[in-house]
Structure 1
Amino acid sequence: MTDYKRILVAITPHREKQPALARAVFLANKYNAELVLGTSMYNRSIEKASDVAAQLKQDLIDDQMKVLEALAASLEVTTKTSCVVTWHKKWYEGVINLATSNNCDLIIKETKQYEKSIRNLFTPDHWNLLRCSPINVLMVKNHKWTENGDIVTAISLDSGDKKHECLSEKVAAEAASMAKMFDANLHFVNTVSKAPIHITVDKSAFDPEKINAKVMAKHKQDLQSLADKLNIPKVNIIVKEGLPGKVVPQVCADLEAECLILGSVGRKGVDAALLGNTAEYIIDKLDCDTLVIKG
């Protein structure tokens, strides 16, 4: 389990409701962690005003710091709270810099659904935050966590990739610890591809239904073995046919889950752009929070 000591919550300026802040306070009290309220700012027109840019920039930073300090003063937290503001052209890089320079081990960010047409035109900052952050990120939707709720964990099974194996163990361990801390029901979810039925072969030699049953049984066995290895006494194992991007959101919806936990192996360049497709598709369809564990 990640023992969160310092949590950075990315504040959305000029917003009356701050779902990410509410969740950050809740988690900071649970983990007894210090809370850092942070904002990344930038204004292109000010950058062009070379003669007064420095003073205008500082005035904006000072004003935003006052807003954050007023927010911090209103919070019911049991640990230390601090405020930080940075000026950065790329919002997500500014937030990451704030988190790393302040030794934070979790970033909390509010997220919302985007229309498909908009996603095809540009990449929202929180997708870049997920891709580039070296530390765990919790994406918050505007809903409450309930007592004895459900935590869903998307587990990737790839016995040929040690990095993914280690990440799967890390994700499973984090999920189990959170379920114990919040007295929640834990679910491991995995998907399998359906065996093709259009192949022209003798059915006695190739029975799709038998193949599917064997594959699903193997995946369930592997998930149970992972739980046993990590000494997780109670977990509901779910293996379904289909694509993760469709199955995982449906499972979360059926269970009315509080949080989905999944892993992300850090990559750069073109691989980073490809990395987020499934995770982003899942997150965009969820009504629950999503905790992304970085590998």
Structure 2
Amino acid sequence: MADYKRIFVAITPHREEQPALARAVFLANKYQAELILGSSMYNRSIEKASGVAGESCKDLKRELMDDQKKVMLALAASLGIETKTTCVVTWHKKWYEGVINLATENNCDLIIKETKHYKKSVRNLFTPDHWNLLRCSPINVLMVKNHKWTCNGDIVTAISLDDGDSEHQCLSEKVAKEAASMSKLFGAKLHFINTVSKAPMHIAVDKSAFDPVKVNARVKLKHKERLQTLADNLHISDVNIRVEEGLPGHVVPRLCDDLNAECLILGSVGRKGVTAALLGNTAEYIIDKLDCDTLVVKG
């Protein structure tokens, strides 16, 4: 269980509505966690201005950062939250790196960031900075849409089953534990989801003894048994296990939509160097199609 103690929320400057902050306050109250309001700033015009001397440039940046911190302090004072709040600001050319640096420097164990909620017909919900934050953060990241979590809602968990990869197996257990603890804390219904590929139908033409329908049924049953074993080993008693045929990128978003899920929880193995450029093709395809909050648990 990720018992969050210090929650970092990325504040969007010059925005009246702060969905990420509202979710952060909600979670901080639930977990009795300290809340850190942070902002990563950068202004290309100031950096490129040839007529601004080095010291003057530093002073101007410091003034802008101080102004932003004053705004955030006033915002924090208006929250009426019981737990401790801190406000931090940094100047960084790459927004996502600035956010990650602030969160790690302040020993945070969860980063919360808002993302716009578009209609389903619109794609590209995430900006490059959003993707880079999800890919590069060593800390769990919650991407928030502008909606409230309801009581007795649904938390969907995408569980990966990989016999040959111990790293992914450990991550699956971590994701399952996180989902179970959150569903218990929020009184939500918990769902474990996995997908299987359909057996190729054309084989039935060549081999009369091969029945693709029966093969698919056996594979689905095997996956359900493995998910149930995972739940039993982690002492998770109240969970709805669903295994469906199809690609994860199609099935998981559809089930989240059908259930009107509050949040999807999935895992991402930590990467360094060149491999840090990808969160994972399947995970990114799923996230790009979601209309609910997304919690990415880091391995």
TM exceeds 0.5?
yes
Structure-1 residue corresponding to 2:235: 231
- Between the aligned partners of 2:278 and 2:139, the Cα distance in structure 1 is 19
Cα pair 2:204 2:212 within 8 Å, conserved? no
Report if the CA contact (8 A) 1:20-1:108 is conserved: yes
Is 129-138 or 51-60 further displaced after alignment? Answer: 51-60
Greater shift, 278-287 or 230-239, is seen at 278-287
Q: Confirm or deny that 1:137 pairs with 2:141.
A: yes
Deviations 1:8-67 (A, max 9, x none): 000111111000000000000000000000000011121123402111101110110011
The answer to whether residue 275 in structure 2 is matched with residue 283 in structure 1 is no
Cα distance change on mapping 1:251 and 1:14 into 2, 3 Å: same
For residues 229 and 187 of structure 2, the distance between their equivalents in structure 1, rounded to whole angstroms, comes to 23
2:9–2:35 contact (8 Å) kept in structure 1: yes
Asked if 1:42 is matched to 2:33, the reply is no
Which one is further off, 190-199 or 223-232? 190-199
Q: Counterparts of 1:158 and 1:277 in 2: how far apart (Å)?
A: 16
Q: Paired residue for 1:212?
A: 216
Report the Cα offset of residue 270 of structure 1. 4.1
Q: Deviation of residue 268 (structure 1)?
A: 3.2
Rounded to whole Å, the distance in 2 between the matches of 1:5 and 1:200 is: 56
Corresponding residue of 1:294: 298
2:83 alignment partner, SS class: coil
- 1:105 maps to 109
Residue 191 of structure 1 contacts residue 243 of structure 1 at CA under 8 Å; is this kept in 2? yes
Answer yes or no: is the 8 Å Cα contact 1:168–1:263 preserved in 2: yes
Q: Percent same amino acid at aligned positions? A: 79
CA contact (8 A) 1:113 1:284 kept: no
Question: How many residue pairs get matched?
Answer: 292
CA distance in 2, matches of 1:151, 1:123: 25
What is the one-letter code of the residue matched to 1:178? M
Map 1:47-62; keep pairs closer than 5 Å: 47-49=47-49, 50-51=52-53, 52-62=56-66
1:15 paired residue number: 15
Contact conserved, 1:137 with 1:293, CA < 8 A, in 2? yes
Contact 1:171 1:293 in 2 (8 A): yes
SS of residue paired to 1:65: helix
1:201 to partner: Cα distance: 5.3
Give the structure 2 partner of residue 64 of structure 1.
Answer: 68
C-alpha contact (below 8 Å) 1:42/1:89 kept by paired residues:
yes
Gap runs ≥5 in structure 1: none
Q: Is 1:74 matched with 2:78? A: yes
Structure 1 residues 255 and 164 mapped into 2: Cα distance closer, same or farther (>3 Å)?
same
Distance of 1:123 and 1:144 partners within structure 2: 23
1:66-100 residue CA offsets vs partner (Å, 9 max, x unmatched): 11101101002111001000000100000000000
TM-score (norm 1): 0.95
Residues 25 and 76, structure 1, Cα contact 8 Å, conserved in 2 = no
2:154 is matched with: 150
**Code of the aligned partner of 2:45:** S
Could you say what the CA RMSD is over the residues aligned between the two structures, in angstroms? 1.7
Amino acid of the residue matched to residue 241 of structure 1?
A: E
Tell me how far 1:279 sits from its aligned partner.
Answer: 2.2
The CA distance in 2 between the partners of 1:280 and 1:15, in whole Å, is 27
Change (3 A) 1:226 1:200: closer
Deviation of the 1:102 alpha carbon: 0.3
Which residue is 1:90 aligned to?
94
Deviation by residue 1:163-195 (Cα, 9 ceiling, x = unmatched): 000000000011001111111110000011111
Cα deviation code 1:228-260 (max 9, x no counterpart)? 000001100010111111111111111111111
Q: Tell me which of 269, 272, 275 is aligned to 1:271.
A: 275
CA distance in 2, matches of 1:95, 1:104: 11
Q: Aligned in 2, Cα 1:113/1:23: closer, same or farther, shift over 3 Å?
A: closer
1:68 maps to amino acid: M
Of residues 173, 178, 183, the one that matches 2:177 is 173
